[in-house]
Amino acid sequence: MASLKQLALREEEQTGFFGGHSLCAGCGIPPIVRTVLGSIPGKKVAISATGCLEVATTRYPFTAWGVPWIHVAFENAAAVAGGVEAAYRALSQRGKIGEEPVTFVAFAGDGGTYDIGLQALSGALERGHRLIYVCYNNEAYMNTGIQRSGASGAGSPSAART
Amino acid sequence: MAKLELAQQVLTGAEAAAHAMRQIRPDVVPLYPITPQTPIIQTFSRFVADGETDTVLLQVESEHSAMSAAVGAALAGARTITATASQGLALMVEVVYIAAGLRAPVVIAVGNRALSGPINIHGDHSDGMLARDSGALQVYAQDAQEAYDLMLMAPRIAEHPRVLLPIMVGQDGFNVTHSAEPVALLPDAEAAAFVGEYEIPYALLQGPSSSHGVFAMPDSYFEIRHQMISAAEAARDVYREVTEDYRRRFGRYLPALDCYRTDDAERAILLIGSAAGTAKDVVDELRAAGEKVGCVAVRLYRPFPHEELRAALAGVARVAVLDRAASPGAFPPLYSDALAALYRSGVDLRSYIYGLGGRDLPQGDVHRALRELAEPPRAGIGYLGLRGDGGDGEP
Ligand SMILES: Cc1ncc(C[n+]2csc(CCOP(=O)(O)OP(=O)(O)O)c2C)c(N)n1
Ligand code: SF4
């Protein structure tokens, strides 16, 4: 597996996630997504929860995603990912898609993971889907304007206090 | 018209729906129990355990996740069916709307049941009406046979390239889900040939990479929703095509409206679901006594068959619309739909609510509604079977 340094160097070779999105300049999310996708060989499908990443990368009619991508709602990225992975198992067992392995990667913020999405994540883990779940933890609900999440540090300022 | 000689089996509506699912052989079925839907998924799970279909079952941790997984699977390229009722549908409903917007043709079997509170496990149509404006198509069965037939037709309607919308196949909780009656099943091969293969444009796992569930601003959202609304409108013709093909192949016909002795009727009952059987018995009884009465049962509720209803009730002077759901503070759903369909037609419509939370609709209540149609109109909503409302069907 490539090191972080190598992945960063190869940024321009990567076709899973492109620039031109509207995430803030300096936002930590794009390097996370690019690094994760870049480190996975072969075919992959990305699943997003509602949040900064989803909103800022798929403003119709554009998309920053070079891999098949799906977003359904805020609290269900893990369940959607489980459904896509189940479809892969069903279709390959019936010979309806090629043998090529596919990696499923879900991306959700800390709000979509620690709080509203915890139940769906618990169910997906317990069912044992073959998928990677990435929580990009920016320690707050950023998309709605900096409110606390279950991952906010004690005493961290929120929009209501600043 | 071909008519197959079919062996009948004694099945409940839930079992009949599960048999249809076995014959459809969906790729993925996310499931979660809730009365009175549970026997659908339980029977289907038994078929899977017995090796009758190699469907991938997902035992999810909630209906919200069931529907979420269903949307993911359907858009990935897998034919997907799930089932629910009542609180389960209420929990799902956020994602039912999204499924319609994302054009995921998921089939949802529903054992229609009252909504809490107070909590009640028995039949009414409140759950279906909660999803009424979601964009999901809705059909309602009157009995176990129809539950089977509609379930088999559902994928073809939902997956039609002009439609691509989820479809809810409703059957009344207990009255249909748990009532055993003779049901004629098609041979497995004929059923499978009728249903055909699942094909959607832009599947996540097939073809070039695509993005689903994107963010739409005011400059595009309206057009995208309008496409979905137009697809729901187109489903009216597709329902007709599919039901006619079903009739051609198998000799059974389930048009959008089931019109019973309405041809020369002066008064009629309009309703949805299993109570149609009771109403038809009353119609027979009154016809035998020389009264010109009829009954119309709505099978296709979304899209609503406006034209068909206008045609069916063209010569009828007065119609009692019986809703098994309420819209507190306003007229109930079927009445409102019928009123819009019959605007300026001259048909006098009266609204009744019956059967909430599984209360029976005895024949006496249907008699009362038909009798009151012969009397001068009254304003507001009548209640059938409600204690203290003057009915003769008091429990
Ligand atoms: C059911 C539901 N509740 C609330 C929202 C509003 N909402 C959208 S994004 C968001 C916060 C997302 O926070 P997080 O998961 O931390 O991701 P980030 O915005 O930080 O990327 C909220 C509350 C929603 N879309 N759906
Ligand atoms: S507000 Fe959202 S887009 Fe901006 S830096 Fe924070 S996480 Fe990134």
**Average of pLDDT values for B287-300?**
98
Q: What is the pLDDT of residue B393?
A: 46
Answer for the pair B132, B337: CB distance below 8 angstroms, yes or no. Answer: no
DSSP state for residue A28 in the 8-state scheme = S
d(CA B145, CA B148): 5
Reported as a pLDDT band with limits 50, 70 and 90, residue B5 is low
Query: pLDDT tens across B327-364, in order?
Result: 999 999 999 999 999 999 999 999 999 999 999 999 99
Q: What is the pLDDT of residue B395?
A: 43
For atom 26 of ligand 1, the residue with the nearest CA is A74
Reported as a pLDDT band with limits 50, 70 and 90, residue B140 is very high
Find residues 292-351 of chain B whose CB sits inside 8 Å of chain A: none
**Average of pLDDT values for B365-379?**
95
Answer for the pair B369, B352: CB distance below 8 angstroms, yes or no. Answer: yes
Closest Cα of chain B to A160: distance in Å?
Answer: 26
Answer for the pair A107, A46: CB distance below 8 angstroms, yes or no. Answer: yes
Q: What is the pLDDT of residue A158?
A: 77
Q: Reduced to 3 states, what is the DSSP secondary structure of residue B23?
A: helix
Q: What is the pTM of this model?
A: 0.97
Q: What is the pLDDT of residue B269?
A: 98
Tokens of B187: 């041979």
Average confidence score pLDDT of chain B: 96
Answer for the pair B99, B131: CB distance below 8 angstroms, yes or no. Answer: no
Query: pLDDT tens across B32-51, in order?
Result: 999 999 999 999 999 999 99
Chain A touched by B73 (CB under 8 Å): yes
**Average of pLDDT values for B282-299?**
98
Of A12-16, A108-112, B90-94, B367-371, least confident by mean pLDDT is A12-16
Question: Closest ligand 2 atom to the C-alpha of A28?
Answer: 8
Residues lining ligand 2, CB < 6 A? A 23-24, 27, 29, 52, 56, 138, 142
Q: What is the pLDDT of residue A14?
A: 81
**Average of pLDDT values for B68-92?**
98
Tokens of B128: 């279906």
Q: Which amino acid is at B180?
A: A
Contact B60 A82 (CB under 8 A): yes
Q: Which residue of B has its CA nearest to A99?
A: B205
Chain B touched by A76 (CB under 8 Å): yes
The partner residues of B257 in beta bridges, in order of sequence, read B298
Closest Cα of chain A to B66: distance in Å?
Answer: 8
Residue B127, Cβ neighbours under 10 Å: how many? Answer: 29
Contact A87 B60 (CB under 8 A): no
Strands A102-109 and A43-48: parallel
Strands B293-298 and B300-302: unpaired
The partner residues of B168 in beta bridges, in order of sequence, read B108, B138
Ligand nearest to the CA of A140: 1
Q: What is the pLDDT of residue B6?
A: 74
Q: What is the pLDDT of residue B229?
A: 98
Q: Which amino acid is at A116?
A: I
Chain A touched by B388 (CB under 8 Å): no
Chain B touched by A10 (CB under 8 Å): no
Angstrom CA distances, B391 to B327, B332, B360, B362, stand at 21, 19, 13, 10
- Per the listing, tokens 């027979």 go with B284
Query: pLDDT tens across B205-248, in order?
Result: 998 999 999 999 999 999 999 999 999 999 999 999 999 999 99
**Average of pLDDT values for B368-389?**
93
Angstrom CA distances, A105 to A85, B82, B323, B358, stand at 10, 24, 46, 45
| Better-predicted residue by pLDDT, B273 or A13 | B273
Interface confidence: ipTM more than 0.90 = yes
Angstrom CA distances, B12 to B147, B184, B359, stand at 9, 12, 20
For atom 25 of ligand 1, the residue with the nearest CA is A74
How many angstroms separate the first and last alpha carbons of chain A?
A: 43
**Average of pLDDT values for B25-33?**
98
Closest to A48 (Cα-Cα) out of A11, A21, A26: A21
| CA–centroid distance, residue A149 to ligand 1 (Å) | 10
Chain A touched by B196 (CB under 8 Å): no
Q: What is the pLDDT of residue B1?
A: 45
The partner residues of B30 in beta bridges, in order of sequence, read B58
Strands B107-112 and B56-59: unpaired
Instruction: Provide, rounded to the nearest whole percent, the portion of chain B with pLDDT above 90.
Output: 95
pLDDT (tens digit, 0 to 9) for every residue of chain A, 162 residues total? 778 888 777 777 788 999 999 999 999 999 999 999 999 999 999 999 999 999 999 999 999 999 999 999 999 999 999 999 999 999 999 999 988 999 999 999 999 999 999 999 999 999 999 999 999 999 999 999 999 999 999 988 877 765
Chain B residue numbers touching A116 (CB-CB < 8 A)? none
Is residue B394 scored above 50 in pLDDT? no
Q: What is the pLDDT of residue B90?
A: 98
Instruction: Provide, rounded to the nearest whole percent, the portion of chain B with pLDDT above 70.
Output: 97
**Average of pLDDT values for B176-187?**
97
